[in-house]
Amino acid sequence: MIPVCRIEDLPEGESLRVEAGDATAAIAVFHTDGAFYAIDDTCSHQDASLSEGWLEGCYVECPLHAALFDLRSGEPTCLPARKPVRTHAVTVVDGMLYVHPAVRTVPGEPVHAAPEEAVA
């Protein structure tokens, strides 16, 4: 479990990149459509940081080649990305936002990044 920030420090429409330590790649955390989501920060296509992407509803557009990822499933909805990025669970405890780095997710079986209690 990695502390991210206080929920008021990640307003709607914003994103953050968190270093998850040596074992896990960096994670991008988003606040959009009233919920928090976390996915791998590095695009599955090439070397771009998704936390710097453009948010539109539950989707983030990669800042390099504009592949669109569904924040709920990590699945790309258009080319050039073809592989999903991993999703990670997000929780809020006492106003503090935490991500729980996923070890592995099964493609097609999305991990819900924003359980009910996580909605700010």
Partner 1 sequence: MTTFTTVTVVGASLAGLHAARGLRSLGYDGRLVVVGEERHRPYDRPPLSKEFLTGDGDPGEGPGGLALTDPEEEAELDAEWLLGVRAEALDTAAGEIRLTGGRALRTDGVVIATGATPRTLPLPRLDGVHTLRTLDDATRLRAALRAGAARVVVIGAGFIGAEVASSCAALGLDVTVVEAAPLPLVPQLGEEMARVCAGLHARGGATLLCGTGVEGLRGSGRVTGVELTDGRVLPADVVVVGVGVRPVTGWLEGSGLALDDGVRCDAGCVTALPNVVAVGDVARLAQPGTVRTVRAEHWTSGMLQGAVAARNLLAGSTVEPFEALPYFWSDQYGARIQYAGRRAPGDSVRIVEGDPADGGGFLAVYERGGISTAALGIDRPRPFMRLRRELARAPQPAGR
Of the pair 37, 69, the CB lying nearest ligand FES is at: 69
Tell me the C-alpha distance between 29 and 9, whole Å: 12
DSSP bridge pairs for 6: 96
Say whether residue 43 binds ligand FES (CB under 6 A): yes
What are the distances in angstroms from CA 1 to CA 18, 84, 89, 100? 12, 22, 9, 5
Of the pair 47, 117, the CB lying nearest partner 1 is at: 47
Strand-strand pairing, 87-93 and 96-100: antiparallel
The token duo for 103 is: 């070890």
Q: What 3-state class would DSSP assign to 62?
A: coil
In Å, how far from its chain's centre is CA 92? Answer: 15
Say whether residue 7 binds partner 1 (CB under 8 A): no
Per CB under 6 A, the list member of 4, 27, 29, 48 interacting with ligand FES is 48
Per CB under 6 A, the list member of 35, 55, 81, 89 interacting with ligand FES is 81
Shortest separation between residue 54's beta carbon and partner 1, angstroms: 5
Question: Which residues of this protein are in contact with partner 1, per CB under 8 A?
Answer: 46-49, 52-54, 61, 63-66, 79-80, 82
Residues of this chain that interact with ligand FES (CB under 6 A) are 43, 45-46, 48, 62, 64-65, 67, 80-81
